[in-house]
Structure 1
Amino acid sequence: MSGALYNREILRLAVSIPHQLRLDKPDGTAEVRSRTCGSRVAADIILSDDGLISQLGIEVKACALGQASTAILAAQAIGKSAKNIAAAREHLAGFLAGSHEQPGDWDNMEHLRAAKDHAGRHAAIVLPYDAILAAFETHEDEVV
């Protein structure tokens, strides 16, 4: 058994989301919603010259699991590329779907283990990754 779904660590993470202010002039911005649960995440990014996130602004309206996942991502997103974010998202989604043993190697991802057997929560958990990846795409659309 993987423990209580809304355990102390999930709740601690849910109330400790960094970078919760939207950015005034982002290089990329996006808002995504989950059709499954109604969660919403908006993300703004400013990129360094080498395409890494140098600033992040994120706003989340989701369950505690979606908020905890956002906190885990936001705490580690600075300095990451779109490729890094996509790889972390795919590994986490694979874990939730049962194809990986571990949720990922970023700090605190292990706390999401309790959600594996709750498919209705999976969309909220990967949503912040989708928002940041969509923000990268809006930047790429402007560059092209």
Structure 2
Amino acid sequence: MSDTADLIKLYSTRILALAADIPHLGRLEDPQATVKKRSPLCGSTVTVDLDMVDGKVTRFAQDVKACALGQAAAAILGQSVLGRTTAELERAAAQLAAMLKSDGDTPDAPFEGFEILLPARDFKNRHASVLLAIQAAAEAARHAET
């Protein structure tokens, strides 16, 4: 497949639609935890604010300055993050990394929407951007619990 065809496949209509409609976009006032992650390769950044009550995410916001893949990943996270535990977020982050880097399975529900990003496997230079939001959320959840 040509490089152009690969890029067209990578930036599918569905990925671009997700990137255009990111849930919980913005910042929280006075969050329990804030984590900012940056991809050194492309410069994408995601800042996550969240609160947890009884071990579950109750408030969440994200400031996303990333490529369409990073934005799509943030959208998928935003659709499922409320009510999740730290363990669920950490598991989803690990599963997404394995899906991209070592042909692992799609993350478990409720994060199975990350399957749309399977074409990014072939673009190692995009992996960090795809992982930013879920990694930031998992880290923020750990901080909120301590």
What is the TM-score with the length of structure 1 in the denominator? 0.89
Counterpart residue number, 2:18: 13
* CA-to-aligned-CA distance 1:31-74 (integer Å, 9 cap, x gap): 111112211000000111x1110110101000000000000011
State the distance in 2 between where 1:116 and 1:74 align.
22
Counterpart residue number, 1:4: 9
Displacement of 1:107 after TM fit?
4.2
Q: Could you tell me whether the CA contact under 8 Å between 2:93 and 2:138 is conserved in 1? A: no
State the distance in 1 between where 2:140 and 2:93 align.
14
> Do structure 1's residue 83 and structure 2's residue 87 form an aligned pair?
yes
The correspondence of residues 1-144 of structure 1 with structure 2, limited to 5 A, is 4-48=9-53, 50-100=54-104, 102-105=105-108, 106-140=111-145, 143=146
Q: Could you tell me whether the CA contact under 8 Å between 2:36 and 2:47 is conserved in 1? A: yes
Runs of 4+ in 1 over 4 A off after TM superposition: none
Higher helix share: 2
State the distance in 2 between where 1:55 and 1:89 align.
19
Query: Paired residues, what number?
Result: 139
The code of the aligned residue for 2:89 comes to I
Secondary structure at the residue paired with 2:122? coil
Consecutive unaligned residues in structure 2, runs of 5 or more: none
The code of the aligned residue for 2:15 comes to I
Consecutive unaligned residues in structure 1, runs of 5 or more: none
What is the TM-score with the length of structure 2 in the denominator? 0.88
My pick for the range that moved more, 3-12 or 60-69, is: 3-12
Displacement of 1:110 after TM fit?
1.6
Identical amino acids, percent of aligned pairs: 37
